[in-house]
Structure 1
Amino acid sequence: MLIMWNIEELFAVWYISSNYMFGRNGYLRDPTIIQLLFEITQSLHYGLDFANMKDDDNQQATRLISRFIQMVDYGGAVEQHLTFLVECRGAFGSINEIKETLVHSSNFLATKALKDGEKHLSFVKSCLAFCEVTIPSISAQIRQLNLYLETAEVALIGGLVSHSDGLIVSAISCLESAHFTDGSRTSIDVDVILSSIHKLCGLLVMVPGLLNLSFFVCHFLL
């Protein structure tokens, strides 16, 4: 545990240094610093106790790794940024929370590319493919559901209807296979589920080709 703490201290030093170096805007753009922090976070990952992921030290390490991923910004070099996300998935793919961060980051990249016009449409498809591969490896089905819906929205923004169709179908499959125990449901769980279903219904309205699946959603609500 002492070694792990030293790694965290080293990460904190570089985190603070990077904020000062880049005007405290919270982003890392220097490839040398990114590579150094990537190696440090890998060491941090190696020190995790996967049998006790709820432990405070493990949770702190997971947050640090996720924060590092969120801080990285390659600017207009979006392909390089996506490559970085692929490397992170390979290095930290055993942690659900980090995989969620990677999906969010990929969707952000896709949205960013769409603002630059259709010339980046092939890159957006690469981002969607990254999400389609990553999401199924996340264990919690409700989290999968929300990530599928988020990615489907990005696909619709890009006019990639066939991609959005597949993502929505995957989201419905998550909803269909989700197991809920009445005794363990909390008000927060119910609110999250209902919010996800409302978003799903909104997407179904926008994709008429999947209108027949609306009947399943209505049946689920009943």
Structure 2
Amino acid sequence: AGMEVAPHLKESLNKNFFDFLLTFKQIHGDTVQNQLVVQGVELPSYLPLYSPAMDWIFQCISYHAPETLLTEMMERCKKLGNNALLLNSVMSAFRAEFIATRSMDFIGMIKECDESGFPKHLLFRSLGLNLALADPPEGDRLQILNEAWKVITKLKNPQDYINCAEVWVEYTCQHFTKREVNTVLADVIKHMTPDRAFEDSYPQLQSIIKKVIAHFHDFSVLFSVEKFLPFLDMFQKESVRVEVCKCIMEAFIKHQQEPTKDPVILNALLHVCKTMHDSVNALTLEDEKRMLAYLINGFIKMVSFGRDFEQQLSFYVEARSMFCNLEPVLVQLIHSVNRLAMETRKVMKGNHSRKTAAFVRACVAYCFITIPSLVGIFARLNLYLHSGQVALANQCLSQ
């Protein structure tokens, strides 16, 4: 009520908080402990009941509060023994920049907390959420990760582990190289594979993948992360696996600036696109088919072997065999092969050698074989017209 009447007068909240600090020790006294035993309530279940009220008080106090007040509140919490509950509320409510610059102080306070009252992994999760929003001092970054991961990797419960690891993946991606990211992914695989624990954690695993691809725009670097593809293998449920593949392809189309012929990228993305294509069945909606075709076509357009036209045609032949159920992809492949034939003509300045004549005939034959498999009549007619013009320009009338 006080905040509604006079939102700028925070003195009452400050007193409220400091009074709470004075009475907080009673929670660990015999009277409260005996009452909890009578009620059959364990302390780890009881303490979080204070969190909503404490979070609200801290949020009101910390809003536009001067640095000195926040520092004073932090120091008072530090003096209070067994203060995990308060520490969690502080990290949830205070500005991320304030928390990040004092990360090592908070880690020291977390270490001193009693594990029985409030789990330490929740405290490290709250710290990780802040570090994803604000950068800690550069000299402390590796030590922060090491201290946090020492606690996270010892967690036995898969849900506790993945909820914490998911947050710290972003911090790792922001401040470290593919080596550290690979180590983190390997640890996640190690914890989530036994007893197929990953089946209960698909949202968190998806979040990890999205964070990794959001920070690695160079796909040759991304796919050189040794544990990235094994990480994808944990997505056993088809619908989830397809969603992850779509995220990867959307990132590739958005961030890949230059055409590529990198075999690591091509093999990995062909596998990703094949996964999307193979999910298409009689019940797949047309909108979904269009989206998948758009993503696969985006990949096909970004593949270029330069002047190695034969290798380019071989890629299109392989793509046709892999993506035969999506008509827009076949249309794109036919246009790409026609363009390849005309590029060959341009290089030879209209005068084909025996070798290039055989090559353009192979291109025309590719189109002639592929067009009849299309369902749309007008699409077939247009492609026959275009392919016929290409054949005529390259003196391939027999084809």
Smaller-chain TM-score bracket: 0.5 to 0.7
Equivalent residue, structure 2, for 1:173: none
Equivalent residue, structure 2, for 1:92: 323
Equivalent residue, structure 1, for 2:312: 81
CA drift of 1:141 comes to: 1.4
Match of 1:125 among 361, 373, 388: 361
1:66-215 aligned within 5 A:
66-117=297-348, 118-119=352-353, 120-163=356-399
RMSD of aligned alpha carbons: 1.6
Match of 1:34 among 260, 266, 282: 266
CA 141–66 in structure 1, closer or farther in 2 if over 3 Å, else same = same
Q: Report the Cα distance in structure 1 between the residues aligned to 2:298 and 2:310, rounded to whole angstroms.
A: 20
Residue 12 of structure 1 aligns with an amino acid whose one-letter code is E
Q: Report the Cα distance in structure 2 between the residues aligned to 1:68 and 1:14, rounded to whole angstroms.
A: 8
Unaligned runs of 5+ in 2: 1-238
Higher relative contact order (CA 8 A, sep 6+): 1
Equivalent residue, structure 2, for 1:220: none
Match of 1:9 among 237, 243, 247: 247
Residue 296 of structure 2 aligns with an amino acid whose one-letter code is I
Question: What is the count of residue pairs matched by the alignment?
Answer: 156
CA drift of 1:13 comes to: 3.2
CA drift of 1:70 comes to: 1.5
Contact 1:49 1:58 in 2 (8 A): no
Q: Report the Cα distance in structure 1 between the residues aligned to 2:301 and 2:331, rounded to whole angstroms.
A: 11
- TM-score under structure 1 length normalisation: 0.66
Structure number with higher helix proportion:
1
Q: Report the Cα distance in structure 1 between the residues aligned to 2:393 and 2:252, rounded to whole angstroms.
A: 37
CA drift of 1:161 comes to: 2.7
Q: Deviations over 1:70-129 (max 9, x none)?
A: 111111111111111111111111221111111001101100111122121110000001
Unaligned runs of 5+ in 1: 164-222
The alignment-based identity, stated in percent, is 29
Contact 1:65 1:98 in 2 (8 A): yes
Equivalent residue, structure 1, for 2:293: 62
Contact 1:14 1:37 in 2 (8 A): no
CA drift of 1:16 comes to: 4.2
Rg bigger for which structure? 2
